[in-house]
A and B are shown apart, each in its own frame.
Chain A
C-alpha cells in the first residue's frame, strides 16, 4: 500500500530566530498568492470569444451600466466564481485527505467520491430522466455524500486506519465504475450526457448551481481550516498523536466530513475534476513544509489559481472552441507532478 511506505524525514530543529522570519516569508508568500489569484480571476473574466480590457472588467464589476461589455462580464463572472469556489474546495479537500490518510496520493478519486457522484448522475439520467445541470447537482452531491459515508463505515468507522479507508474507497469506486460503464453501454442517452459531464468543466456554471452548493462549500471550508491543528498532530502517527492529546476518531470523522462536503459540492457543480486536489497540496508542501496551518490556506488560494488558469488556457488554445478545464489541469498537472516526484530524494520515497 502506498500508505505503508515510511518516509524517512530528517528531524530538523531550526533555531527560533529564522523560524520567525520564515513565518513572515510564508505570510508574504500567501499575500503574493492572493494577488496572483486576483490577476488570474481578472484574466478569467477578460479572456474569451470577445476579449475585454482590465478597465472594462472593472466597469462591468463595479459600475455596471448595462453596456455590452458589462453583459459579457456578468456572464463570465458566474464561471469565474464557480472556478474560484470549486478550485478552493478541491485543493482544501485534497490537503485534508492527504493528511488524514497520511498518503501523498490521496485525492477525491481515491476515496470513491468522484465515482459516487458519477454513478448518481448516471442514475439520474437513466432512471429519472433528469437532463438539466441544475438537476444533476443534488444527485451528484447525494452520491458523493453516500459513498463518503459508506467508505467511512467500511473503512472501519471509529477504528478506521488510513490503509483501510483507501482500500474501501478503491473498492467502492471499482464496483461503481462497472455500473457506470454498464449504464453508458446500455443507454445511449446516458452516454451522450455522461461523456461531457465526466470530463469536468466550468462551462455550465450558473448562479443557480453556485447557490445550491455554496452552503456546503462554506461549511466544509470552515471545518477544514479548523482541523489544521489536530491534523498536524495526526501526521506524526497514531501513537504520537494520542500522546499529544489529539482525538483521533473525532478528527478522522470530521476530516472525512469536511472532505466529502467540499469534494461532493465541487464535483456536483462541475463534474469530476481530477488532479487539482492531488497536486496543489503537494506543490504547496514543498515550500511551506509539513505544517497544515500553512498548507491549508495556501492550498485554498493556489488551487483556484490552477483551476482558473487552466480554464483560461483551455479557452485560448483551441479558439473558437474550448478545452474542458479537467483536460487542461491534467495535461499541465501531470508533467508537473512527475517532475516533483522525480525531484524528491529517494530516501523520502
Chain B
C-alpha cells in the first residue's frame, strides 16, 4: 500500500496492473455501519415475547444453541431480521442512486412515486381481490416496476434530465396517491386496516419466502451498480464535463435507474413503502464519510442499519408488533431533517 501524494489517499497496489483507491474514513464508516447493523440485528433477534440474551442468539447463529431457541430463531426471527437488513440495504442503495442521478437530495423513491406505485399495486390486490400475502407482494412488485418504467419513459426526451425526472415523478406520485386514497375509501374496514398497516411499512410476519428473492436480486444488482460507481461519480460535474471524460451518460443512467427501480420495488414489495430510509440513508452516509460522490456502499449499509435500528426501537418502545417499523422511520426521518436544518443553519450552509 502506498499513499497518494496529491490527494493524501492510500492506494492499494497489487502487481503493476491493479491499483485501488481507498478512503480511510469511508472504510471506517463502512466497518462501523456493518458492526451497528449486525449488532442491532442480533439484539433484534433476541427481542420479543420470548427474549434471548445476546450470547444465546450468537450461539444459535453459529449452530450450537438450545433446540427451542434454535426453532424460534431459524423459523421466525432470523428471516424477519434478514428481510429487514435486505430491505434497508436495497432502499439505501436505491435512494443513493436516485439522488445521484437526479442530482437532487430529495430525489428518492418515495418522492418520485415508486412507493405510491407499488402501494397502488398492493392495494389493488388487498381491496379489490382480498388477495393473499403473496398476491399483495406480486401486486406491489408489478406496481413499482410499471411506475418506474412509466416515469422513465415520460421523463425521456433526448435523454433523462435530473430535474425533469423529479418533476415527472412528483406528477406520477400525486396521481398514484389519489388512486390509493380512493382505493382505501372503497375498502371495508378489515381491508382498510390491513391496507394502512401495509402502507406504513412493516416487517411483521416476514419469512424465508421473502428472503430468497430479495437476496438473489441484491446478489445480481449490487455488483452491477458498484461497477458503475466511478462513472456515476463523474456525472456530478454535469453532463458535458462527464461526457467529455468518456462517460456514456445516458446509458449509465438507464442502467442505474433500472437497478434502482428494481431494488426499490422489490424492497417495497417485501416490507411495504417504509418511509424515509431511501431519502435519509444517503444523506446520513455522506455526512459520516465526508466524501463527495454517491457513497453507494455506505448508503447501502446505512439503510440496513437504519431499518434494523428503527424496527428494534418500535418493538422495544411500543411492545411487540404494535406499531410497524414505518412509523418509526417516518418519525426519525422528520427529526433527522429538522436536525439537519438546525445544524446546517448554524454552519450557514442552507
- Residues on A lying within 8 angstroms of B by beta carbon are 1-2, 5, 105, 154-156, 161, 163-164, 167-168, 170-179, 181-182, 184-186, 188, 191-192, 195-196, 198-200, 274-275, 278, 323-324, 326-327, 329-331, 333-335, 337-338, 341-342, 346, 349
Give A154 to B350 CA distance when docked, in angstroms.
Answer: 12
- Residues on B lying within 8 angstroms of A by beta carbon are 104-106, 154-155, 157-158, 161, 163-164, 166-168, 170-172, 174-175, 177-179, 181-182, 184-185, 189, 192-193, 196-197, 199-200, 275-276, 322-324, 326-331, 333-338, 340-342, 345, 350
**Are B174 and A275 in contact, with the CB atoms below 8 A?**
yes
- A178 contacts which chain B residues (CB < 8 A)? 275, 326-331, 333-334
Contact of A105 among B158, B170, B181, B335 (CB under 8 A): B170
Contact of B334 among A174, A185, A191, A323 (CB under 8 A): A174
Q: List 5 A-B contacts (CB under 8 A).
A: A175-B338, A178-B327, A178-B330, A181-B330, A346-B158
- B166 contacts which chain A residues (CB < 8 A)? 2
CB distance from A107 to the nearest CB of B (A): 9
Give A305 to B277 CA distance when docked, in angstroms.
Answer: 39
* Chain A residue nearest to B342 in the complex (CB): A154
Q: Can you list the 9 inter-chain pairs with the closest CB atoms, starting with the nearest?
A: A175-B334, A178-B330, A330-B178, A171-B337, A334-B175, A174-B334, A178-B331, A337-B171, A199-B181
Give A176 to B336 CA distance when docked, in angstroms.
Answer: 13
- A338 contacts which chain B residues (CB < 8 A)? 154, 167-168, 171-172
Q: Contacts A174-B276, A178-B334, A349-B167 known; A334 to B172 CB distance under 8 Å?
A: yes
- A199 contacts which chain B residues (CB < 8 A)? 178, 181-182, 185
**Are B154 and A342 in contact, with the CB atoms below 8 A?**
yes
**Are B175 and A330 in contact, with the CB atoms below 8 A?**
yes
Q: Contacts A185-B200, A327-B182 known; A1 to B106 CB distance under 8 Å?
A: yes
Q: Contacts A176-B334, A185-B327, A338-B172 known; A191 to B193 CB distance under 8 Å?
A: yes
**Are B164 and A274 in contact, with the CB atoms below 8 A?**
no
**Are B178 and A331 in contact, with the CB atoms below 8 A?**
yes
CB distance from B110 to the nearest CB of A (A): 10
**Are A2 and B106 in contact, with the CB atoms below 8 A?**
yes
**Are B175 and A174 in contact, with the CB atoms below 8 A?**
no
- A1 contacts which chain B residues (CB < 8 A)? 104-106
CB distance from B148 to the nearest CB of A (A): 15
Contact of B185 among A184, A196, A335 (CB under 8 A): A196
